[in-house]
Amino acid sequence: MSARTAGRAALLAVLATVWSVAAYLLWRSQVPSSLHLPHVAVRQMFSAAQLRAASSFGRFTTIDWVLAEVTQLVVFGLYAWRGARFARESAAGPIGTGMLLGMIGFALVWISQLPFGFASLWWERRHHLTHIGYVTYAFGNWLALGSQFVFLCLTLLIVMGLGRLTGGWWWLPAAPVFVGLVTLSAFVTPYLLTTHRLHDARLQAQARVLERIEHVQHTPIVVESVHDVTALPNAEATGLGPSRRVVLWDTLLDGRFTNAELRVVIAHELGHLKRQHLWKDVGWYALLAFPGAFIVARVTRRRGGMGAPEAVPLALLAIVVLDLLALPLQNAISRHMEAEADWEALQATRDPAAATALFKRFVSTTLDEPSASTLEYLVLENHPTIEQRIAMAEAWRGYERSNAP
Amino acid sequence: MDVHPVQLVVQDDLARSRPTVFFRLLLAIPHIVWLFLWTLLTVLFAVVTWLATLVSGQPPAWLHRYMCAYVRYQVHLTSYLVLAANPYPPFDGRKGEYPIDVTLPEPEVQSRWTTLFRIFLAIPALLISSAFSGSGGLRFSSGSHRSAGTYSGGGALFTACAFLGWFACLVRGRMPKGLRDAGAYGVGYGAQVLAYLLFVTGRYPNADPTAMLAGVERPPEHPVRLVGEAHDLRRSRVTVFFRLLLALPHVVWLALWAVAAILAAVANWFVTLVRGTPAAALHGFLSRFVRYRLHVYAFLSLAANPFPAFGGRAGSYPLDLELPEPGRQNRWKTGFRIVLVIPAAIVNGALEWGLFVAAVLTWFAALVKGTAPWGLRNLMAYALRYDAQVNAYGLLLTDVYPNASPLEGAAAQPDAFDDTL
């Protein structure tokens, strides 16, 4: 082994160690490691009709997702092969041409995904989960689509600018820049949502109590009006530092959920904030951004590196493939944090019956399957399954009993 | 390119009688009533001509003569209304006696297919005509009642030319040549559309302003003019299809740049007012902004094909702009620039509406054929050039007023011999 190879191996080992330590620190959870999730008798808990409806809904959604992903890969593959010839349609210099190539790739994929989006929309409309019209779906969200294009151009400006300055080492300065942008985005996002304050005084008072219990006082609890586009209930914890807040969709407050169940939802979202999950999201992004950018840099070397516009179509393909490969890991991380938030909610509300009722209600209101197949679990489930969430509520009950003084 | 059978003839000397200009709309009332009645009859005859042309392949001679007179009358009256001509027009659409006239073809064999679908085929031309001139056919009211036969003179460019020309004629007794040419172009295109719609010719209207005003004297050369490769009509279908999305980063960048340009223009105004010439650095910055705006608009409107650069550098785009160096400017014109630019901005607004319609039509054409229609390309180039001239004037790059003529200015001819010698 030459000294150079040994040096590289040592460097790799150091980096792997640093990565692993960071990942370990981010992975740490309040959920007791000794916690054993009991078996949940799903078939006894839900009616056959409920299970059939959820299964049918989930099967179509999964097939649609798989077909959309395959199509996306095919389109990006073809584009990586032939897309560089669109460079002749540009008078914008290397970086501008790279932006053009990136945008064309995105636009082609957007078009290719529309049929699957329509299929999914049709399916959701059929199950009364959304009220969005087909025309609105296709043409109603130009602002979001346009923002994606502008963001893509900004990304390419950074990457290609660094690629032209630093050659094959662009990924080293680029990764922290993107981490910074993701942090900024996480901070700013709450200010871009149109929300109003929670009008239910009783629920507001209960939220204040939960905030005290979870040590996240003065967190605004706000409501986002979405009932005109969807019937799905949802909530999210968003923002960093002064921008952090809990956003409840107004579909949660339409009478389908009891007050106790809503307390669990709020406690769950406050749990995210208590455990700094948004910061951890940024941390995980950083851990994945460095190796991801490195791989893209390696893949695009044969096309002249990211300083050359001809490399952009290939880079897009590389990113999509990497994203797909990393999806099981990303979902595992997300499920891990959601489980921790569930645990925090149980600790704060001390009401496993309400948590169980809430999770059971999700089967009828969101058509979520209580349990998932391995493929669905790996690539589609970014929350624990309903079966797992109910099992955790049961486990918490047992845990509390065994740890009672 | 062969000549369109409907040709505009301009023999107007720009002189205008102030009293008739002042009362122009009132004086035109008998004509408008007469046109209304004549149009009712023409609608009826148009159906007969359509059937006859479908059967025999060409319109009967007497109907053709009737339609020619109607088209010519429209030309005369519209020219009178928009102040593109001075004398009171005759009521019979007679040939060759009015300063703004058209030559029309003899009855010709026409394709039965295009005859059959003429009303649909004419829609793109009608859209352009109504955007620029508001003329060229039967108009539908905005309400539920179809107002077939009403006079249709509500185009943005016509309105702007007539409105501004009215003031200019009252003050100077002359119609500004740029406004007259713009009005004449609208009249000519409207005549081509009407002739096509009424089966006078089977040739599709040609929107090319240069071809339309081929016989008209070109205006003096303006310091802000288009340069570059005009004949590259190839358009990439993929980039055409996604043009709006692809232009987004440029639109964002242009908007940001515009903020800085406004601040620079204010600074430039003070400098130019004090020194009499703009500051070189500000002049360079604003020149790049004006040029970049042209590049972006050309890309967005499909007047040019490639994705433009972000810097507004000269020579970086096929549809480019020549701009003057910093030079001495009249302080009065500088002091009141923000007021003086208003009429030009009105015309520019009208042209931008036309540019939008032309761009939409080019989008469809380029998607199908992979090329931009030459006429529409030149029409858009006219609108873009005027926009650049207005911007250059407003941002104090030059004190030469924008020229609304669709014709590109001609360089001054050197004298045959120098008689001072």
Residue A100, min C-alpha distance to chain B (Å): 7
- Residues ≥6 apart with Cβ < 8 Å to A240: A183, A186, A187, A278, A279
Kindly report the number of other CB atoms within 10 A of residue B68's CB atom.
23
A158 contacts chain B (CB < 8 A): no
A312 touches B: beta carbon within 8 Å? no
DSSP 8-state symbol, A40: -
Confidence of residue B413 (pLDDT cuts 50, 70, 90): low
- Please answer whether residues B129 and B189 qualify as being in contact, where contact means their C-beta atoms are separated by less than 8 angstroms: yes
Separation CA B381–CA B408 (nearest Å): 10
Q: What's the rounded mean pLDDT across residues B363-369?
A: 96
The DSSP result for B68-129, as a single string, is: HHHHHHHHHHHHHHTTS--SPPPSS--TT-SSEEEE-PPP----HHHHHTHHHHTHHHHHHH
Answer yes or no: do A89 and B236 touch at CB < 8 A.
Answer: yes
Residues of B in contact with A151 (CB under 8 A): none
Q: Using the 8-state DSSP alphabet, how is residue A48 labeled?
A: H
Q: What distance in Å separates the CA atoms of residue A192 and residue B235, rounded to the nearest whole number?
A: 38
Quick one: DSSP state of residue B310?
S
CA angle, residues B207, B208, B214, in degrees to nearest 5: 125
d(CA A351, CA A380): 29
Neighbouring-strand partners of residue B174: B15
What is the pLDDT confidence band of residue B3, given thresholds at 50, 70 and 90? Answer: confident
For residue B206, what are the contacts with CB-CB under 8 A and spacing of at least 6?
B4, B192, B212, B375
Taking an 8 Å cut-off on Cβ atoms, the answer to whether A89 and B307 are in contact is: yes
- Sequence letter at residue B295: H
Residue B231 token pair: 């004949």
> Inter-chain contact A104–B308, Cβ cutoff 8 Å?
no
Question: B186-190, B239-243, B415-419: which range is least confident on average?
Answer: B415-419
Q: Express the helix, strand and coil content of chain B in percent, nearest 5 each.
A: 55, 5, 40
pLDDT for the residue B332: 94
- Beta bridge partners, B7, equal B103
So what's the pLDDT on residue B412?
67
Residue pLDDT, tens place only, A65-92: 999 999 999 999 999 999 999 999 999 9
What proportion of chain B, given as a percentage, has pLDDT over 70?
A: 92
Rounded mean pLDDT, B115-136: 85
Q: What is the pLDDT of residues B191-210, one digit of tens each?
A: 999 999 999 999 999 999 99
The confidence band for A405, taking pLDDT boundaries of 50, 70 and 90, is low
Measure in Å the smallest separation between the Cα of B317 and chain A Cα atoms.
6
Chain A hits for B302, CB-CB cut-off 8 Å, are none
What's the pTM value of the predicted model, to 2 decimals? Answer: 0.83
User: Buried b vs exposed e over A12-27: b needs ≥16 C-beta within 10 Å?
Assistant: eeeeeeeeeeeeeebe
